Amino acid sequence: MFRHVRELQFEAKPEKPDALYAAKFQEILGGQYGEMTVMMQYLWQGFSCRMPGKYKDMIMDIGTEEIAHVEMLTTMLARLLEGAPAETTASAAAANPVLAAVLGGQNPQHAIVAGGGAMPTNSMGVPWNASYIVASGNLLADFRANVTAEAQGRLQTSRLYGMTDDPGVRAMLKFNLARDTWHQQQWLLGIEQLVADGYSDVIETSNAEEEDQRWNKAFYSPNPGSTAGEGRWAQGPTLVGDGQIEFVPDAPPLTDDTGVLPAPDPLLHATYDGSQGPGAPGTPGGGLKKAGQGLVDKVKDALD
């Protein structure tokens, strides 16, 4: 259950409308790292969290706050679009609002599709996509993705801050910058808590016993002359366990497998020199065909 109050979390009052800026502003609402993404990402992680108590509550608290951020941004966008299409200096466009919008850099869909309101799109008009969100069920992996999302979102907000001198817009963006700063820290502290509570190592290490132990401490450098070995990532103790990092310079292949593919299914009509012998149905295309036919035969047999 969610609760809603009429007041915004923070005011969204531009000093004056600016349809051109509104088109740019769409990025931090419906872009890959916009507020819609973190809202859905955190809520989905919270809905699926199998750790009742402080972890689930923390995720849901932040996700619910992000709903408030989406509401703030959509309100700001609608107010920036007040009176749109914006005026342009081209007198020839004055009689054609859509043409004026294009020449002035405004997104015409703000007027045509959304009736002067915000849209669930990025700054180029591309619709928000659910594939942007990360919700794996593994809290360590998810919290790391959340730090990235907040860092990217904050960076884009910071860039937009520099694209306006409107004091009302800047006031709200200052608030958003502050919250993104804190949310990065919240997720990093969440990772610390996972480690302290014994639920995770510093990195994701499931099935650690199945790893090829020869290669779980090595910096593999296939670039001759690489200076990567000078960094901390290529020397000293590992972050997990008591091992030492090994730097492998000018690293060689670990196999003589050249990746030659098998002969193609003749039904796929691939270009082929015959070097792997004749192809036969049963390779990818033929296999699919045979599997489908087998299923049909089974259904027929059952009906008979």
Which parts are annotated binding residues for Mn(2+)? 35, 66, 69, 150, 183
What whole-number distance in Å separates Cα of residue 46 and Cα of residue 68?
Answer: 16
* Contact (CB, 8 A) for 243 and 237: yes
Nearest-5° angle of CA 80, CA 82, CA 83?
A: 130
Binding residues: 35, 57, 61, 66, 69, 150, 183, 225
* Contact (CB, 8 A) for 100 and 7: no
Q: How far is CA 140 from CA 56, 61, 135, 264, in A?
A: 13, 18, 11, 42
Binding residues for Ca(2+): 57, 61, 225
| Lookup result for tokens 């989406």 | 70
What is the four-CA torsion angle of 54, 60, 64, 67, rounded to 10 degrees? 150
All residues at 6 or more sequence positions from 87 whose CB lies less than 8 Å from its CB, including other chains: 100, 104
